[in-house]
Amino acid sequence: MNWYLGGLLLGILEKDRYGDLRSKPIEIKGLGGKLVEFILEQYEEDKKRDEFHEAIKSFLVIDESVLRASQDYIYQYYKDLFVHLVSEDDWYVEILNADDVWQHIQFGNAPLVLRRSGGDELIYILSTCSCDWEQEHELQIVFKQGWDMNLVGPFNGHLTHSEAYDDDRLENVIYPQVYK
């Protein structure tokens, strides 16, 4: 069965080994033309599947402005880790300003689309990225409803910092400076 979202062919969605659905590779222009395969977690059981569709449609049309709006947070994450690096480290890299951070990030190939189980219960898209300065924990970027970047930091699988730190005050915090 082919799936269409707003006229866009997602192709035949296949179940992966975890039981989640995976799309065919689709180009995301806002990520520099990156080809990704969406993984839809617990989609078949969800009663509001149209919210998955809307989040994916939003993600497909994000542009550089969405990324640029978050680069100061990503740069702060880099700076918080950089103070712990020495020039002999394999992932030592000097980034002079927030504008240059994107030269050191490679978006992953399989963003995860899932409903948040608590809190607002909205759809989020979690993208794991390789980054030159943190090869062990990588970089996690989460998009609320597919277009609003709401979390950056090391990969931990959480959709918000309020979940990660069990602190409601961090619900709308994109990057808490906790690594100092």
Taking 90 as the threshold, does the pLDDT of residue 105 lie above it? yes
Torsion of CA 104, 57, 176, 115, to 10 degrees: -130
The pair of three-digit structure tokens given for residue 29, joined into one six-digit string: 């222009």
Cα torsion angle, 28, 106, 100, 56, sign: positive
Q: What confidence tens digit (pLDDT) does each residue in 4-58 have?
A: 555 555 777 888 899 899 998 999 988 889 999 999 999 989 999 999 989 999 9
Question: What is the amino acid identity at position 122?
Answer: L
173 sits in the region (left: phi over 0; alpha: psi -120 to 50; else beta) called: beta
* 58-68 tens-digit pLDDT: 999 999 898 89
- Rounded to two decimals, what is the model's pTM? 0.90
Distance CA(32)–CA(114), nearest Å, equals 23
